[in-house]
Amino acid sequence: MYRSDVVEAEGVQPGAVVLVQEAGDTGTKRHAGKSARAIPTLSDKNVRPTRPPVTRTLGSAFYSTASEIAVRMISPKPVNDIEQLIRERIRAAIAYRERFVQDTNAYRVIFSEGDFLPGLIVDKYNDILSLQVLTQAWDPDPMRNIFLSELRVALNPRVIVERIDPRVRKLEQLPERESGIVWPGNSPKYSNHEDSFKYSNHDVIPNRFSGEEPGVPGREAGSSSLRSAPLLGMTSGERGATGASPVEGSTSAITTEFQMNSVRFLYDALGGQKTGAFLDQRENYRAAEKYARGEALDVFTYQGGFALHLARSCDKVTGVDSSRPALEAADQNAALNGREIEWIEANAFDLLRDYSDAGREYDTIVLDPPAFAKSRQTRETAIRGYKELNLRALKMLRPGGVLVTCSCSYHVSASDLLEVLASAALDSHRNLRILENRGQAQDHPSLLGVPETAYLKCLISVVS
């Protein structure tokens, strides 16, 4: 519920568990729909007597004094024991993964609203857990103790790290904090919530790129130039390091190796974007691999997620990204799997324009750009970005070629992406047959009724 729908929340502390009641006609309501009253249930006893008449109780929620989303429902009933509720929800989230996640020791264990734990994200990479706290409710020590102890008992990790997005903490008006190990070790000291809490308008629905903003669509003057020489001037196979782990002998507390679909990856818990790897594409990697063939181009490869899978079904694979550190990690992953992949550090828009103008051809192209639309306002620009990428890719695909095109922008819908693709097909005079219309992996459950939990689109089509 948005702040504008809250009629009364006097005395409610940041992150409190509140009872939400539907307010009757206040006489001041500007629009139809529910208005809510938040009543603290755990802390503050100094609640003023109710003013607007209460019509019914809607349930319990986490309250944020800073977010534009003031109220996040956690139960349709009054919650008396928040600890028990959280422990049960975590156990249920783990049971859900046991049922639906296969062929991997890396997956999202808790996906915020998708697991009825709004504001908490936990990823598992083999023996490391990586978590993100996105709302006020999860930040105080007593709450941390609850979820950390439950996760430790249930999953027995070697290390638990917390990844901080300073922007989210600022917008939630939480005290500054650094990324680091939260277990084992001496519990870091947290400052309490007495800082001043001011209004801000921020939507904290988890996004693949809640951290860094890794790119912008379009080609701007002065944007990074195309460097088409393979990274480090060699492919991974030439180093003779096949099969050997580059971190062998230097295992640190925050690095590990995980596998998905029998592909091996290195993981550095405090490096990389987001929580280090794009787990949401795990099932799409396998689908892409199934149809991919010939010469493949993986655009926006990051640490080689698609490229490493494509290498099992294609003759030659090239991965493109503008981030050199990402490509260095990708190259290490290739060596770990004994694969030869060519890496190119370039702006994807420049490279696709130059390659398609030069008449280069591929049998398989993957497009998995960062979220171009971070808000509804940037949707149109984002759609132009997607159109440009898809048009260039279609021009380069040989007949019978496979296009895997993705969008992780929540504000660009599945039907928007289909429309973009249709218009790119028209402009490039190609016919497309959709092989698969996919979304995010099942360990990122999308909750019917909370559309924001469904954000990733992945269309696989064959070109003629």
Q: Residues with catalytic annotation?
A: 408
CB 310 within 8 Å of CB 318: no
Which of 370, 385, 401, 445 binds ligand SAH (CB under 6 A)? It is 370
Which of 12, 160, 326, 441 binds ligand SAH (CB under 6 A)? It is 326
CB 147 within 8 Å of CB 120: yes
**DSSP bridge pairs for 87:** none
Which of 173, 210, 236, 323 binds ligand SAH (CB under 6 A)? It is 323
Instruction: Name the residue nearer to ligand SAH (CB basis): 17 or 326.
Output: 326
**DSSP bridge pairs for 366:** 298, 404
Question: Which residues within the stretch 329-348 sit at the binding site for ligand SAH (CB under 6 A)?
Answer: 347-348
* DSSP secondary structure of 264-314: EEEEETTSSSTTSS-GGGHHHHHHHHHH--SEEEEES-TTTHHHHHHTTT-
Which of 157, 305, 385, 401 binds ligand SAH (CB under 6 A)? It is 305
CA dihedral (305, 308, 310, 316) positive or negative: positive
Instruction: Name the residue nearer to ligand SAH (CB basis): 183 or 306.
Output: 306
Cα separation, 306 vs 337, whole angstroms: 13
Q: How far is the CB of 93 from ligand SAH (least distance, A)?
A: 23
User: How many residues bind ligand SAH, per CB under 6 A?
Assistant: 20
Instruction: Name the residue nearer to ligand SAH (CB basis): 295 or 368.
Output: 368
Question: Which residues within the stretch 182-221 sit at the binding site for ligand SAH (CB under 6 A)?
Answer: 214-215
Instruction: Name the residue nearer to ligand SAH (CB basis): 328 or 419.
Output: 328
Residue 278 touches ligand SAH, criterion: CB under 6 A: yes
Q: How far is the CB of 43 from ligand SAH (least distance, A)?
A: 41
Closest residue to bound ligand SAH by CB: 215
- Which of 342, 419, 418, 358 shows the shortest CA–CA distance to 392? 358
* DSSP secondary structure of 149-172: HHHHHHH--SEEEE---HHHHHHT
Residue 322 touches ligand SAH, criterion: CB under 6 A: yes
Residue 302 touches ligand SAH, criterion: CB under 6 A: yes
Of the candidate spans 9-17, 101-109, 297-305, 390-398, the one that interacts with ligand SAH by CB under 6 A turns out to be 297-305
The residues, ordered by sequence, that sit 6+ positions from 283 with a Cβ below 8 Å of its Cβ are: 438, 441, 442
Of the candidate spans 53-61, 113-121, 303-311, 331-339, the one that interacts with ligand SAH by CB under 6 A turns out to be 303-311
* CA terminus-to-terminus distance, the chain: 47
Q: Which amino acid is at 304?
A: G
The residues, ordered by sequence, that sit 6+ positions from 82 with a Cβ below 8 Å of its Cβ are: 17, 42, 146
* Residues making contact with ligand SAH (CB under 6 A): 214-215, 278, 281, 300-303, 305-306, 321-323, 326, 347-349, 368-370
